[in-house]
A and B are shown apart, each in its own frame.
Chain A
């Protein structure tokens, strides 16, 4: 873009009262920019003025007014670069003149007077000017051919629902199922939990009706006895190889070397060529991920509905319950199969099972439910109790629970079952299940009956949970350098879950959306709803790829990372650190970008030691130039020059928190200059070095919380930044600069009250260290 610049300074909201606008204008006009001021830039006259400017050809506007978080549509001009200088919140409101006085008329021309607030405003304006010089409007990344077909992995009720819902919105869908028929667990059910109000009775399985709908839907193709060997490529352009279950083919997905194979016998990381050799050995017979299957099928997005398997207790795990030793102690899944086959019989001798005890919690002191249980296991016990009653007029069902977990309207189901005098329910701590020759005896204490109880039973059913398919196998088999499955599933008990309460479908793999039992133990109703949501996300991903824009959280962002490969040193850091596995490197280690997998966080840019990864509107150079635009006063300027500290702040949470601190008129040191970053993961250490080498006295990073309950919108950004900051500390020490000059702080968006204190403490530390010895060099 051929830029025509314009600088516009607003005088409203206290800006003109606090700042010398003429002097501020001069900062830009002295560098040759046309500057205009307005009493109220967002008022009609101000906007008319801006429109006239744009009409006259200005296409790069630096608007020095309020925070970019407000008046977003007022200052949006089609086809223009708009850079907002946050004078109001970050300068004026947070730095009152009562604390940082303006010069008196006598002091105005006194060069030794330090006007902290005016200097800050000047710096922010210069930083913005430096930035707009370095950026270009992004052009969307478009695939040559977009494939809108959706792949659904798993043909249970979740997968069937996802397929139907996507097809009904007009999309072609292929459903693959590893078994020889669709239906999953629902094939082996006698009845199922209700799907809608009044939620009172088990209903006939909806599977057959759903299968008929599926058959009638021309946009859906079904492949049974089929699994995914690999999914290569990227959203909008996946190349998928299918195979028969158990088959071994050359397009089976290769796995990255496990950590123990990456080191020699002394625990030292192997050299790159040795690693490559081992990798090839480890994946012998498999084609590398960068070779696409010429016979592969094209898809645009994937719904992972691989479901669950029943929990298999370890040997002796529930020994006190007789599981594994007593034939008539079964899991709820086994019981369902028995019930689906006809009247409930004992597995041991085929005799009628008229007294059945359902155990919700393994007991033995605690009140936890069985592993991988959820409200679905409570509801299933209630459902199964009704089977006993419908099979035998004199049948008795006992449900022993620690907590009956029937949340929301499913309480109606609980209440309806309670009405049956043949169903006995009590809280109980089950201590033992034993055989007595004729049958079983269940012993329990801490019941609602006030005393320990013994229940004779024909059959005992354990309410074991639903283990996600992803615990045993990645299933999606992504041909990604980072590995075939979702990462970090261990913190979710291996469910393919998202860590975001607000954004339940966001995982670390763009374009792959999990639904149903693979995500959490769920009822059919929940799984079908979940399938609908996942189908929406798959469609949304396709349409975003079609428009060349990012999906969540930078939805609509057209920028994407650009690599200057001539200078790549094949260090692989970008490939390894990308939270979304967007990069696949080749044998030499050169990364292959997959832009539609990318979420535009810039972690690759932050990782790259050669600084060859950049976005059109966010680059190493654009931020470095902002850093360099900060005037660092030295003893040449003042007898006691003020400190200069750089704050690199996450724009998602930390930056808004600063705005809110300002809105509440909280103050922070006037020696700090903030630069917002897309994510702390995008922080390249060169920016920190730039700051210190031009004499700035300290640098801090302000970003989201990390750890298991991470709040980082890009999963790993703040964590990676912390690792980089620690490493830079070592480098600083070698330069005889104190490691304390660089720090990182975690802050949540609502901790705006803590930020001034954090900053103050850091400034205090720097004051203690004294000025940067490189200042002035």
Chain B
């Protein structure tokens, strides 16, 4: 009603995971007026979407939305961001949890000006996990150009080496601290939102598709990095075997998903991701023929159906209903033969292509790294809500979802967390 009352601000909220869902929950709750701790294990925020070149179906850059979210964080003293941090223990009950957080050493402190002198002198190159090992980065590096926080990080593998000393000496701002130790923090919160996200399913486990054995078989997340200007190929789509643009590309849908031997569920995004990636190939390798092998093309709803309609118009994009049985490689050329059965005509297809993209799905992070709390999960590892415990799951920690659904869900979870702390 119209009487004045102060904005409720009792109790704090812990958000575990700083990808798009965690960011959203944290910001939406903080902008209501609640104190939020956002704990992220990586040295940067943004999670999976930070690795994406574009969003479907708008084909817009994810960094655009991330940048605004980072600005919202900068403008809001209610959010406390902890990067390189992991939740170690949660004890207590809804409304009154004690959280032990371990902050791993970054070896670069808050004095970092982002000048880049450390990376310039650093000689050690390490595989870039951000780029799925497709390129190396300096052991002292900025995670990516638009990273938040804008601060360098030093890989512990160079500790004790001359290189580490060189890096330290290069910093004129006393920002390199090679003696940095893990720190333990204790937080008191009333509710916890798990936004621990997903891992790309390990394509090596899908034996018949030869990932890891055949050079020119890549995953959809790898293709995102290739298509990105700040990726391993500076935006070029090329064959790993010879660095040349492929003359043809096959997208293998449900690589691991909808498969009882791997991920029994549908990973939600891969059909739309492949349609989107077909546009990357069309833009960057205009002469390439594209073959999409699918079970069902899951492009539901007006936006996605419209996008799919557009791709269908393209005479170079061919859709084949059929699950891929086998991939084989011509060791001479690195070309691949995709073997599938057309589910409608029954004919056996052997399509030779220059590059294969596996539409690998999402595995919940919690299935690999169990949350250190009494969290209930589905057998697949998706986290279930436990309102009485003040535990909620947002985005792909709860179920496979696209970005827009994750953000809707994450916004709602901010309210669920608020309800938990407002009651106390």
Question: Which residue numbers of A lie inside 8 Å of B, CB to CB?
Answer: 12-14, 40, 42-44, 66, 69-73, 145-149, 165-166, 168-170, 172, 196-198, 298, 367-369, 372-376, 378, 401, 403-412, 415, 427, 446-448, 450, 492-493, 495, 499-505, 520-521, 526, 529-533, 535-537, 539-540, 543-544, 546-547, 551-553, 555-557, 652-653, 656, 660, 663-664, 705, 709, 711, 713, 748-750, 752-753
Contact = CB atoms under 8 A, between A and B. Distances in A.
Given A42-B111, A43-B111, A505-B411, A409 B382 contact: yes
Contacts of A298: 2
A547 B32 CA distance: 10
B266 interface: yes
Contacts of A552: 31, 72
B300 A375 contact: yes
Interface stretch (B63-71, B121-129, B236-244): B63-71
Interface string B193-214: 0000000000000000000000
Given A72-B74, A533-B408, 18 more contacts: A12-B173, A40-B113, A40-B172, A148-B2, A148-B5, A165-B412, A405-B298, A410-B266, A502-B62, A529-B408, A532-B412, A533-B411, A547-B33, A555-B72, A557-B75, A652-B64, A663-B116, A709-B58
B374 interface: no
B25 to A, nearest CB: 10
A407 B412 contact: no
A300 B229 CA distance: 45
A369 B297 CA distance: 11
Interface in B63-110: 63-69, 72, 74-76
B297 A403 contact: yes
Contact of B415 (A165, A403, A406, A499): A165
Interface string B382-412: 1010000000000000011101110111111
A448 B343 contact: yes
B362 to A, nearest CB: 9
A279 to B, nearest CB: 33
B111 A145 contact: no
Nearest to A531: B412
A427 B321 contact: yes
A502 B33 contact: no
Interface in B243-272: 258, 264-268
- Which of A409, A447, A505, A546 counts the most B-chain CB atoms under 10 A from its CB? A409
A206 to B, nearest CB: 15
A501 B111 contact: no
B146 A540 contact: no
B64 A653 contact: yes
Given A502-B65, A504-B411, A664 B145 contact: yes
A408 B401 contact: yes
A260 to B, nearest CB: 28
B68 A553 contact: yes
Contacts of B55: 501
A77 to B, nearest CB: 13
B43 to A, nearest CB: 15
B134 interface: no
Interface residues of B, number: 86
Contact of A448 (B27, B33, B344, B405): B344
B114 interface: yes
A711 B268 contact: no
Residue of B297, B302, B418 most packed against chain A (CB within 10 A) = B302
Contacts of B264: 411-412, 415
Interface in B32-63: 32-33, 53, 55, 58-63
A145 B3 CA distance: 8
Given A504-B407, A713-B68, A70 B150 contact: yes
A404 B20 CA distance: 28
A540 B28 contact: yes
Nearest to A652: B68
B60 A501 contact: yes
A338 B422 CA distance: 44
B114 A14 contact: no
Nearest to A447: B344
Contact of B302 (A165, A520, A535, A749): A520
Given A448-B344, A749-B63, A501 B174 contact: no
Nearest to A546: B7
B305 interface: yes
8 contacts: A71-B113, A373-B300, A409-B266, A505-B411, A520-B301, A529-B412, A536-B32, A652-B64
B31 A408 contact: no
Contacts of A369: 300, 305
B132 to A, nearest CB: 19
Contacts of B418: 169, 536, 539
Nearest to B321: A427
B150 A69 contact: yes
B349 interface: no
B286 interface: no
Contacts of B299: 403, 405
Contacts of A14: 115
Interface string B153-194: 000000000000000000011100000000000000000000
B229 A750 contact: yes
A166 B8 CA distance: 13
B422 A532 contact: no
Contacts of A753: 229
A408 B298 CA distance: 10
Contacts of B422: 169-170
B333 interface: no
A536 B412 contact: yes
Given A652-B67, A709-B60, A556 B298 contact: no
Contact of B64 (A71, A367, A748): A748
A14 B173 CA distance: 12
A409 B399 CA distance: 7
A339 to B, nearest CB: 23
Contacts of B111: 42-44
B279 interface: no
B411 A408 contact: no
B73 to A, nearest CB: 9
Contacts of A368: 305, 309
Nearest to B387: A168
A12 B174 CA distance: 12
Contact of A656 (B65, B67, B300): B67
A40 B173 contact: yes
Nearest to A166: B415
B309 to A, nearest CB: 7
Contacts of B413: 532
B114 A408 contact: no
B315 interface: no
Contacts of A378: 300
Contacts of A70: 113-114, 150
A749 B75 contact: no
Contacts of A411: 258, 264-266
Contacts of A168: 419
A530 B408 contact: yes
